């Protein structure tokens, strides 16, 4: 099994890949290709697929970690090249999502960049999926479940991350529309992939709003084995010192072969973990990087 980072905030130097705030990772297995997330835009996703010499038509299935645009923004362009694509995720994926970050930045006089088609109401900008649910049902083969699903042999979704006793990867800006008005996003849809390799279970996270510690505990409970490597967005960017220390302790206990956190991990968390676990274990995973999971 092999991973290729297709979209990330960072790019492998001296490669033709483009970067953006988003994530997309290609999982190559002997049984076929699974794409995990689509980055923030079709422009970057299609460019980077071409740079990686991957024909979109060769993708067997897509899994979406959650509904945020930095993970689902490339979906419309992908479906144009690959109509009827099986799409795995949590049923809450289709729920509207909002951010009030723009309004707060404006309130303190900071400049705000907004794409021309950004929708905003009551100071809340829509940051959920850009394809309406009815459209998506017509254009893709939606396979939504809160339970773990096996996409191809050895490639699983975690399903909904249950029993969240540890800190989540929250943003104070993220909201959903609830019965009584705006409510903090419960991130029910947030899921990761679990890959069964010769070396053991590999965890591939999208944004990990459910929290890395909660996700690791959920995987151990559901799959009955510990994780030996972690890739992807871990949302430690807003973690305090206490939270980071707990992550360090857990990872040192697991003694993983590889930890390659990217996207929403944050520089502080990355270097803190690299110092604790060593540069052989903690390595970057920018767009253009490839890893053979059977020979980590």
Interacting residues with Fe ion (CB under 5 A): 68, 70, 207, 264
With respect to Fe ion, which residue has the nearer C-beta, 54 or 237? Answer: 237
With respect to Fe ion, which residue has the nearer C-beta, 8 or 70? Answer: 70
With respect to Fe ion, which residue has the nearer C-beta, 189 or 196? Answer: 189
With respect to Fe ion, which residue has the nearer C-beta, 264 or 287? Answer: 264
Minimum CB separation of residue 34 from Fe ion in Å reads 19
Closest C-alpha among 193, 146, 229 to residue 34: 193
With respect to Fe ion, which residue has the nearer C-beta, 128 or 288? Answer: 128
Minimum CB separation of residue 280 from Fe ion in Å reads 27
Q: Find the length of the chain.
A: 296
The dihedral built from the CA positions of residue 268, 231, 213 and 124, taken in this order, carries a sign that is: positive
With respect to Fe ion, which residue has the nearer C-beta, 71 or 218? Answer: 71
Minimum CB separation of residue 40 from Fe ion in Å reads 9
User: What's the longest Cα–Cα distance across the chain?
Assistant: 53
Minimum CB separation of residue 253 from Fe ion in Å reads 27
| Whole-angstrom distance, CA of residue 286 vs CA of residue 186 | 28
DSSP string, 82-127: STT-EEEE-GGGGS--EE-HHHHHHHTT------TT--EETTEEE-
Minimum CB separation of residue 249 from Fe ion in Å reads 25
The two tokens of residue 279 are 């540069």
Beta bridge partners of 25: 5, 36
DSSP string, 9-41: SSB-TTSS----S--EEEEEETTEEEEE---S-
Minimum CB separation of residue 235 from Fe ion in Å reads 7
Question: What residues contact 237, with CB distance under 8 A and at least 6 apart?
Answer: 264, 265, 266, 269
């Amino acid at each position: 099994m092999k991973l290729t980072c297709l979209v990330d905030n960072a790019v492998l130097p001296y490669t033709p890949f483009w970067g953006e705030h988003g994530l997309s990772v290609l999982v190559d297995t002997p049984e076929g290709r699974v794409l995990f997330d689509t980055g923030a835009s079709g422009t970057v996703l299609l460019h980077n697929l071409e740079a990686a010499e991957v024909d979109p038509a060769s993708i067997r299935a897509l899994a979406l970690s959650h509904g945020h645009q930095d993970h689902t923004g490339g979906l419309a362009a992908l479906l144009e090249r690959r109509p009827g694509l099986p799409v795995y995720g949590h049923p809450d994926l289709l729920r509207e999502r909002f951010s009030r970050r723009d309004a707060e930045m404006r309130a303190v006089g900071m400049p705000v960049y907004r794409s021309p088609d950004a929708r905003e109401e009551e100071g809340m900008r829509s940051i959920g999926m850009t394809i309406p649910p009815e459209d998506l049902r017509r254009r893709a083969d939606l396979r939504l479940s809160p339970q773990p699903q096996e996409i191809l042999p050895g490639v699983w979704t975690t399903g909904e991350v249950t029993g969240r006793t540890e800190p989540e990867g929250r943003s104070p800006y993220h909201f959903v529309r609830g019965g009584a008005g705006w409510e903090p996003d419960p991130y029910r849809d947030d899921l990761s992939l679990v890959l069964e390799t010769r070396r053991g279970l590999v965890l591939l996270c999208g944004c990990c709003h459910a929290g890395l510690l909660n996700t690791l505990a959920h995987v151990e409970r559901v799959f009955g084995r510990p994780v030996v490597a972690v890739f992807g967005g871990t949302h430690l960017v807003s973690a305090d010192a206490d939270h980071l220390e707990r992550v360090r302790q857990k990872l040192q206990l697991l003694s993983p072969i590889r930890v390659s956190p990217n996207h929403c991990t944050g520089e502080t968390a990355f270097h803190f973990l690299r110092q604790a676990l060593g540069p052989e274990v903690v390595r970057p995973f920018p767009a253009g990087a490839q890893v053979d999971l059977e020979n980590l």
